[in-house]
Copies of this chain bind each other. A is one copy, B any other.
């Protein structure tokens, strides 16, 4: 029995609200149940120093959590003077995942930074971030094409992400905070539409997990990501 009453393979309700803010070239508010993340994609001319002159672009991400996104207030990272290890780890993951969606060669010497800021947290902020950021990224690519900044479309493939875990012995999909904090195993999966894997990050929180459990979780993740791709298509207005 899941705390939320959901079936093991039942994800939370997902919404992808485009145009949530005005200034960004791509702006999506994504919600996975009570988890809400604002994903803003910014297009800037130029690339990081180590990429200059290589005739390609760059896609990166930054992640943050508002201090009271969580049940109890967390310190503001800007006030503490540094981003924590968890933050850095998550933004590296989001960035890598997004780069799988784009042909950097076709992007030209532009950098797209997707800021994922968690307004409200209830588990799965990194998977919601990747799923929403991918839509914001595509909005930004569409903006660049409208503005004639690029000639060809750098879009390669959609990516989406969902968490799976073993909760009280049963593999479950899309863990919320109460499940996440009590799960034996927690795994985040990033996939492409053809069912291939971009990232698999599984951690035994309490008990080591078997290959069979891993496969059970990956099956769940596959169905979960397919549902997310449908939501992404719907938000983007692309006929599948």
Partner of A204, one of B100, B194, B201: B100
B92 touching A83, Cβ below 8 Å: no
**5 sample A-B contacts, Cβ–Cβ < 8 Å, listed by A number:** A22-B120, A64-B66, A73-B113, A198-B208, A199-B203
| Residues of A68-125 contacting chain B, CB below 8 A | 68-73, 76-79, 81-89, 91-92, 96, 100, 113, 115, 117, 119-120
Interface readout for A26-53 with B: 1 if CB under 8 Å, 0 if not? 0100000010101010101000000000
Give the secondary structure class of A's interface: mixed
Partner of A66, one of B38, B85, B89, B192: B38
A7: CB under 8 A from chain B?
Answer: no
Interface readout for A175-202 with B: 1 if CB under 8 Å, 0 if not? 0000000000001000110111111111
The residue of chain B having its C-beta at the shortest distance from the C-beta of A83 within the complex is B78
The stretch among A10-18, A145-153, A210-218, A229-237 that forms the contact with chain B is A210-218
